[in-house]
Structure 1
Amino acid sequence: MTSLLTPDTPVETTPAPVQRKVPDAVERFRPQARRRLARGDILGFLGWLSPIAAVALWLSDGGATGFSSFAGTMTALGIVAGLVGMDLVLLMLLLAARIPFIDNTIGHDRALEIHKTLGKPALYLLLAHGIFIAIGYGAAEGLDPISESVSLWVNVPDMWLAFVSMALFIAVVVTSLVAVRRRFPYEFWYWIHLLTYAAVAAAIPHQFSVGGLFAEGTWQRWYWLLLCVGTGAALLVYRVYQPLAASFRHQLRVSRVVRVAPDVFSIEMTGQHLERLAGSGGRFFFWRFLTAGHWWQAHPFSLSAEPAPAVSAGRGSAVQATAGRGKLRITVRNLGDGSARLARIKPGTKVAIEGPYGMFSTAARSRNKVVMIGAGIGITPLRSLLESTPFEPGQATVLLRGHDESELFLGQEIMALCQARGVTLFHLTGPRSRGNHAWLPQSAAEAGFTLTSYAPGIADADVYVCGPTPWAASVIRDVRSAGVPVEQLHYERFDW
């Protein structure tokens, strides 16, 4: 059955009473956006400065003198390629370290996108490093590059580790290619990707015994020590310590698993100090359920409801046993073996947590108005965002898309929130259009409705989009065509 709601017939809601505007709660968004863009410029500048600084410091220590002969030129080019390649590898690790400053500036998905983009250039530079060094050293000793490579492996201390490091880097980059990694389970690719740390560790020793990277009395020494130690510290703090600390602090346990739809279920958890997670609506966490068959898998899911406060109860109350423990919830769709098994998680199971991550939250806001567009399981993060992000009555519009009403997951909860907060809500159901506006129901597109029919002021609003990737791409095209600047469009991918 096809259900079409025109701009004049939104889902019936009872608007909240008009309240006095609170400028401090709204006017902060534009300055917030300017600060975020400024932080992005700083990160971009530092990213470009880092490899330039590495080469400049090498030149300041007399590196240019090597260009006086063929052998010296090849060796010098190899050193430059190695410096820039290693610098890019360390930048990649920093981008994947989940550092709050980076995550809160460009978002988790954008950081990983840049991380992936640097992978091939870093590998090519490291390969060039090895080839040019072999040519340069070989020319100086009268050997061909292959013979020189064998000689380096056999006769130079720690050089064999450099060859091992190169092999590990190649394995990581090859398994990162989309065409390759989709052939394997995520867990296989994840553990292979951890070889990056081993590759970096294996690359460092030969710099002490062969290269001048850590030579006493040079600025290079301090630059590389700072970069290596800083990168290692960031990984330990944000990838190891903070997740462990958060897991111990919140003491999460599964309280129940509730069926929402035939292939959709919610996992409710209780825990301590969940008020510290308030305002995380829309952001995602990595969840690790500490039971057999699950503890080694980290699942990225967004909250589908803001953390509920702890229950306070008097002596003798029936709920006294839960006093002091709050609640939170995620909603999961069965999209494979991993998520299907989560439906059988037993109450009482302990849960380890990492996060929150991403910019799909109030932290991304830049305008007073907000438009939220979701489909399928992507509706659930919008539900928690709707609950937490500030706006005045009449300044928010929510569009929910599904084949039928049963696919508008948590739809009744969203309707109740819209009624309480004065939000315009549209349920857009029916078969998908095959035309230019492919994200809309076919009946809506045939009637001539577009995105601006439902959200006329969208060009001056923050727009949050969450749903299946092809569908979201169609929405984003319409959002951009409606005049929404890229900084007002918020969409995060959870692919790997």
Structure 2
Amino acid sequence: MTTAPRAPRVVQPPPAPVLRPRVVARAGLYVFLAAHAAAVAVLFAQGGFASNALIVLGRLAGLYGALFMAFQLLLVARLPWLDRRIGMDRLTSWHRWTGFGVLWTLLAHVVFVTFGYARGSGLDPLNQLVDLAETVEGVLRALVALALLVVIGGVSARAARRRMAYETWHFVHLYAYVAVVLAFTHQIAAGTSFTSSAWGTAYWYALWGGALGAVFAGRVALPLWRNGRHRLRVTAVVPENDHVVSVYLTGRDLDRLPARAGQFFLWRFLTRDRWWQANPFSLSAAPDGRTLRLTVKTAGDGTAGIRRIEPGTRVFAEGPYGAFTALHRTRPDALLIAGGVGVTPIRALLEELDGHAVVVYRVTADRDAVLYGELRDLAAAKGAELHLVTGPPVPDRLAPAELARLVPDLADRDVFLCGPPPMMNAVLGSLRTLGVPGPQIHFERFSLAG
């Protein structure tokens, strides 16, 4: 373990108490969902009730399945206001669990409606389902949509997801948009709350239009507009060691790109063999309005090829994304903990943060400490403390006692954490043991597939 010399500490007054951005955004989503759940209940009641209780339950389940589907689209629309306050990792996780809610409510819709009509017709449930598909407009389309959702739900299970390449998983999930369109047309044709009143028709058109419009705006229109405006291109590819390279980019009007230290982009390098690959990499230097930099560790053939990218290559970048920024600070002082190549957003944050900072950089050996020279120089310039913690993963060098020794005032600091999942889980456990309040702990798991 090596430690940079301790610099004089500059004490700043604590920030004025304000509502935390993440709390505001979460509350907004909860209120949105609760308000729409109440609206759906009112529209359902106005549409009248069938005499068969199973059909009533089935119709209600279908309506809430449609609401959850629209809410699910909102969660992955990548709207900047939500993403900066909650983070893509948490929004993606909520999207995943909402997806299972969609699947179960729509399955309940089919089962209850089928058994309800079978009770009145005398048909067995299977023949009743076939009869509904043949005689009721939109039912066959709804069954196709449900089949697609079952497949998507299957590949979203963790056991299946671990065995599947991200590109394959993403391609399968594109069929969710087909399922949304099919389900919507079924609702138009057969939904009682949709057809029973002008208010119901207007509500559902507005809900679906808003959800699909948010997806189009956040995932298509905004990235196209930003890339057309900024026209990013590679200026240099600089090896940091045998396995890590830094890519420098420039473009037009980068001072108007709303990127902050700690955020990441989905980068597409527009070469013949890479244009179709979108990789999430964090900024490894705070944006200065003139250049951007990302630092990449080789983790397969795709990332290995970045070393061979030529200067002048055009880049299509989606973002910036992520809530791992100083926007969420609650204390004047900070502790930054990095593991391995997770140092990239930490190094950028150190450059941007005000107040006294302690940086703990965990690596297996000194040679793995990417960007350590830059961290040392930044720490000296900003009056920060820097600790390089080396050694094998076991024993845990960032156990509670060791963290408390390195940073005695840990509980009075914001903690920003980024590194490999096992290391992050261990450190989060240490922070909880040491009593660090949850609102002071900031981390982001850089995973697009939940």
TM-score normalised by the chain length of structure 1: 0.86
Per the alignment, residue 359 of structure 1 pairs with: 323
Match of 1:428 among 382, 389, 395: 389
Indicate whether 1:134 and 2:86 are aligned. Answer: no
Corresponding residue for residue 5 of structure 2:
12
Report the CA distance shift for 1:15/1:413 in structure 2 as closer, same or farther (over 3 A): farther
Counterpart Cα distance in 2 of 1:139 and 1:88:
29
C-alpha contact (below 8 Å) 1:13/1:418 kept by paired residues: no
Q: Distance in 2 between matches of 1:157 and 1:38?
A: 43
Tell me the distance in 2 between the aligned counterparts of 1:32 and 1:128. 40
Partner of 2:441: 489
The corresponding residue for 1:60 is: 46
Farther off after superposition, 228-237 or 334-343: 334-343
Decide which moves more: 130-139 or 456-465.
130-139
Superposition deviation, residue 439 in structure 1 = 4.6
Asked if the contact 2:259/2:320 (under 8 Å) is kept, the reply is no
1:218: how far off?
Answer: 4.4
Counterpart of 2:248 in 1: which secondary structure?
A: strand
Of the three residues 124, 138, 151, the one matched with 1:171 is 151
Say if 2:407 is the partner of 1:455.
yes
2-side partners of 1:275 and 1:116: how far apart? Answer: 35
- Measured after TM superposition, the shift of residue 482 of structure 1 is 1.5
Unaligned segments of structure 1, at least 5 residues: 310-325
Instruction: Summarize deviations over 1:174-232 as a string: whole Å, max 9, x none.
Output: 11111112212100100111111110101111222222242152433232222101001
Name the SS for the 1:353 alignment partner.
strand
Q: Counterpart amino acid of 2:306?
A: L
Taking a change above 3 Å as real, the CA distance of residues 479 and 277 of structure 1, as seen in their structure-2 partners, is farther
Q: Number of matched residues?
A: 448
* 1:380 aligns to 2:344 (yes or no): yes
User: Given the alignment of the two structures, is residue 333 of structure 1 paired with residue 297 of structure 2, yes or no?
Assistant: yes
Q: Equivalents in 2 of 1:363, 1:162: separation in Å?
A: 43
RMSD: 2.0
Q: 1:469 aligns with which of 409, 412, 421?
A: 421
1:279-298 equivalent positions in 2, closer than 5 A:
280-298=260-278
In structure 1, the residue corresponding to 2:195 is in which secondary structure?
coil
Deviation at 1:82, TM superposition (A): 0.6
Contact 2:363/2:369 (<8 A) preserved:
yes
- The residue that corresponds to 1:42 in the other structure is 28
Q: 1:51 to 1:32 in 2, by over 3 A?
A: closer
1:222-301 map, 5 Å: 222-277=202-257, 280-301=260-281
Question: Any idea what the Cα deviations from partners look like across 1:264-307, whole Å, max 9, x if unmatched?
Answer: 11111111111124661111111111111211111111100123
The letter for the 2-side match of 1:330 is: L
Question: Whose radius of gyration is greater, 1 or 2?
Answer: 1
Give the drift of 1:75: 0.9
Change (3 A) 1:205 1:105: same
For structure 2, list consecutive stretches of 5 or more residues without a partner in the other structure. none
For 1:209, what is the secondary structure of its paired residue? helix
In structure 1, what residue type is equivalent to 2:393? R
Q: Kindly provide the CA deviation profile for residues 328-385 of structure 1, in whole angstroms up to 9, marking residues without a partner as x.
A: 1100011122211222222211101111111101111111111000011001110111
Runs ≥4 in structure 1, deviation > 3 angstroms? 13-16
Contact 1:378 1:466 in 2 (8 A): yes
Determine the C-alpha separation between the residues in 2 that align with 1:377 and 1:407.
Answer: 9
- Percent same amino acid among aligned pairs? 39
